[in-house]
Amino acid sequence: MQTLQADTLEVQVAARGLITLPQSLREAYGIRPGDRLTLLDLGGVFVLSRRESRVDALADMVATRLHEQGEDLESMLKAIREERARYEA
């Protein structure tokens, strides 16, 4: 099992909101100019990841499959409300 080591590094926000990742991190993870990172805001705790966020892609996939089946968000919500009403009755 891999142990996760947490390092605390300080960065400064520059003009236009830019931050510079410390060179040691860029070298350790092979981050190059132009690379895209994903920033996740966890209520003021920021997580920066090299991985792309898959949430939007997954949501699009679900929407496409629902549409192919003749469903949409409104029909899904209606079905959920009806099932909830039957359950509560």
Domain boundaries, the chain: 55-88
Question: In 10 A of CB 63, how many CB atoms?
Answer: 13
Going by C-alpha positions, the residue among 21, 18, 58, 52 that lies closest to residue 37 is 52
Q: What is the pLDDT of residues 24-59, one digit of tens each?
A: 999 998 999 998 888 888 888 888 887 766 777 777
Query: Which of 69, 65, 31 is CA-nearest to residue 51?
Result: 31
Could you tell me the pTM of the whole model? 0.49
In this prediction, residue 4 has a pLDDT band, given cuts at 50, 70 and 90, of low
Cα–Cα distance for residue pair 28/32, rounded to 1 Å: 11
Longest dimension (CA), the chain: 62
